[in-house]
Chain A
Amino acid sequence: MIYIVEFIVTAFRESPYHVITEIFFAVLLLVLLLQKAHNPTKEKPLTKKEEDELIAEWEPEPLSRPLNEEEKWELSTIPLIESKPGIMVTMNGKKTLNFGSYNFLGVVDLPEFTEAAKKEIYKYGVGTCGPRGFYGTLQIHLDLEQRLAKFMGTPEAILYAYGFATISSAIPTLAKRGDVIFCDEGVSFAVQTGVTLSRSKVYYFRHNDVDHLEEFLKLQDEIDQKYSCRLAIEESLSLGVLGKTERGICEYYNISRDAVECTTSSLGNAFSSVGGFCCGSAIVVKQQTLLGAGYCFSASLPALLCGSSLKVLDILEHNEKIEGPDNIFSKLKTLSLHFRAELAGIHGLEVAGDPSVPLVHLRLNSKTSQKNRHKNERILQEIVNKCFESEYPLGLTRAKYSEEEYLMPPPSIRICISASHSKEQLTKAAQVLKKVAESVFRDGISFDNELNSNEINSNNLDN
Chain B
Amino acid sequence: MTKYPITFFNIVTVYMTYGVMIIFGYLEDLFEKVCASFFSVLGLVKSGKKRKILAPLTDSFQAFYVRKVYGRVHDILNRPISSSPAAWIDVLERKFVPNKVNQLEFTGKTQKCLNMGSYNYLGFTVPSGFHDKKIVETLENYSPAMCSTRNEVGRSQKLIELEKKVAEFVRKEDAICFAMGFATNSTSLPLICGKESLIISDCLNHASLVWGSRSSKATVRVFQHNNMNHLEKVIRNAIVKGQPRTGRPWKKIMIVVEGIYSMEGEIVPLPEIIALKKKYKCYLYIDEAHSIGAIGESSRGVVDYYNLNPSDVDILMGTFTKSFGSVGGYIAADKDIIDTLRLKSYSSIYADSLSPACAEQILVALDSIMDKNVGNKRVKKLKENSNYLRKSLINKGFYTIGDMDSPVIPVLIYCPSVIAEFSRKCLAKGLALVSVGFPATNLVDTRIRLCVSSAHTKSDLDHAINVMDKVGTKLMTRYKLKNKINPDKIKTPFEKFSLLENNPKISIKQN
Contact = CB atoms under 8 A, between A and B. Distances in A.
A121 B85 contact: no
B55 interface: yes
A91 to B, nearest CB: 7
B148 interface: yes
B385 interface: no
A129 B322 contact: yes
B304 interface: no
Contact of B325 (A46, A127, A304, A402): A127
A304 B53 contact: no
A341 interface: no
Interface in A39-90: 46, 51, 54-55, 58-61, 63-67, 71, 74-75, 78-86, 89
Contact of B343 (A74, A123, A297): A74
B326 A86 contact: no
B92 A283 contact: no
A136 B85 contact: yes
A63 to B, nearest CB: 5
A296 interface: yes
A80 B157 CA distance: 6
A223 to B, nearest CB: 13
Interface string B40-67: 0000000000001111011000000010
Contacts of B327: 126-128, 161, 299, 301-302
Nearest to A116: B144
Interface string B179-196: 111110011000010000
A268 B147 contact: yes
Contacts of A71: 339-340, 343
Interface in A121-144: 121-130, 132-139, 141-142
Interface stretch (B19-27, B349-357, B456-464, B489-497): B349-357
A329 interface: no
B145 interface: yes
A128 B85 contact: yes
A263 B265 CA distance: 38
A238 interface: no
B61 to A, nearest CB: 14
B251 A64 contact: no
Given A129-B119, A135-B89, A297-B208, A64 B128 contact: no
B324 A61 contact: no
Given A133-B77, A302-B355, A297 B182 contact: yes
21 contacts: A60-B251, A67-B343, A78-B151, A81-B156, A85-B142, A101-B148, A114-B140, A122-B131, A124-B85, A125-B126, A126-B326, A127-B325, A127-B326, A127-B358, A134-B119, A142-B80, A162-B179, A164-B347, A274-B352, A302-B327, A302-B358
Interface of B: 52-55, 57-58, 66, 70, 77-86, 89, 91-92, 115, 117-120, 124-131, 135-136, 139-157, 160, 163, 174, 179-183, 186-187, 192, 206-208, 211, 214-215, 236, 239-240, 249-253, 280-283, 314-315, 319-322, 324-327, 333-334, 336-337, 339-340, 342-344, 346-347, 349-352, 354-355, 357-358, 361, 432, 434
Interface of A: 46, 51, 54-55, 58-61, 63-67, 71, 74-75, 78-86, 89, 91, 98, 100-103, 108, 113-114, 117-118, 121-130, 132-139, 141-142, 161-165, 173-174, 179, 188-190, 193, 196-197, 225-228, 230, 261, 266, 268-269, 272-275, 283-284, 287, 289-290, 293-294, 296-299, 301-302, 304-305, 307-308, 395, 397-404, 414, 462-463
